[in-house]
Amino acid sequence: MYQKISLAVQEGEIEEVDQLTIKSLEKGNDPLDVLNNALMSGIEIVGQKFADGELFIPEVMMCAQALQAGIDRLNPFLKQDENPHRAKIVIGTVANDVHDLGKNLVKMMLTANGYEVIDMGVNVSAEEFAGAVRGHNPDVVGMSALITTTMLEMSKTIEYIKTQGLHNGSLKILVGGAPVTEKFAKEIGADLYADDAIEAARILREIL
């Protein structure tokens, strides 16, 4: 059964994942076990196939939709503290940048992976990011930028979060976007860097 669910996720079969997840629960399988050994195992293979150039963004989107259908089925049966993926993430596109497709892809992948995502939208100032960190107490704050001029806002935002004393031991700062590199992420003091939405989900699965 788990193998079937995993394959259905890999094929992006939304309805099939939904039905198989219901069946799996009806058979008395542990919801957490279904999450980890069927759904997440499927999406991990999807991520690997994307990295290997075997799958492309539209197909990955279908797989994520399928994953989300399964997680939606499981959620009522998962206790809050049982779901290891149920961390909170604040996400937004930095000030002066209005592009949201990349940020939305990350949001989608993280939501599909079971994380609670608070989307701040686009053109989010350093003060707004800091306010969201104060208000939501997230595990991760994620920033996106599309062009070289606006990626500099990431540096200002991280600096501001730090000067406000919000970058304590538990909060991780994740950056990404077309012009952003791992080197730049390190230079500006980010904790994490992801090349794309799938990698963002993979990295967070590792650390949260």
Partner 1 sequence: MIIANPNDIPINKSKVLCYLGYKIDKNKVKDIIFELLDEQLEKARTLIVPRGVYRVLEKNDLVNHKLFFDAQKIAFGVCTIGNELEQEVKRLFACREYTRGVLLDSIGSVSAEAITDIVNDELNNYARQAGLNITRRFSPGYGEWDVQEQKLLFNYMGNLTAGVRMLPSGLMLPIKSVSFACKISNFKMKEVNKGDKCLTCNMRHKCLYNQASKEYKKEAKPGN
Binding of partner 1 by 96 (CB under 8 A): yes
Closest CB to partner 1 among residues 121, 137: 121
Binding of partner 1 by 58 (CB under 8 A): yes
Binding of partner 1 by 61 (CB under 8 A): yes
Binding of partner 1 by 99 (CB under 8 A): yes
- How far apart CA 182 and CA 102 sit, in angstroms, is 17
Strands across the sheet containing 140-144? 116-119, 88-93, 140-144, 172-176, 192-193
Binding of partner 1 by 137 (CB under 8 A): no
Helix (H, G, I), strand (E, B) or coil at 43: helix
- How far apart CA 92 and CA 94 sit, in angstroms, is 6
Count of residues interacting with partner 1 (CB under 8 A): 28
Binding of partner 1 by 150 (CB under 8 A): yes
Binding of partner 1 by 186 (CB under 8 A): no
Sign, CA dihedral 117-120-125-130, equals: negative
Binding of partner 1 by 149 (CB under 8 A): yes
Binding of partner 1 by 128 (CB under 8 A): no
Question: Strands (DSSP E) along 53-181, which ranges?
Answer: 88-93, 116-119, 140-144, 172-176
Binding of partner 1 by 207 (CB under 8 A): no
Task: Choose, by CB under 8 A, the member of 105, 120, 161, 190 that binds partner 1.
Answer: 105
Closest CB to partner 1 among residues 166, 198: 198
Residue 11, classified by CB atoms within 10 Å of its CB into exposed (0-12), middle (13-18) or buried (19+), is middle
Which residues in this chain contact partner 1 in the complex, by CB under 8 A? 12, 53, 56-59, 61-62, 64-65, 68, 96-101, 104-105, 108, 146-150, 178-179, 195
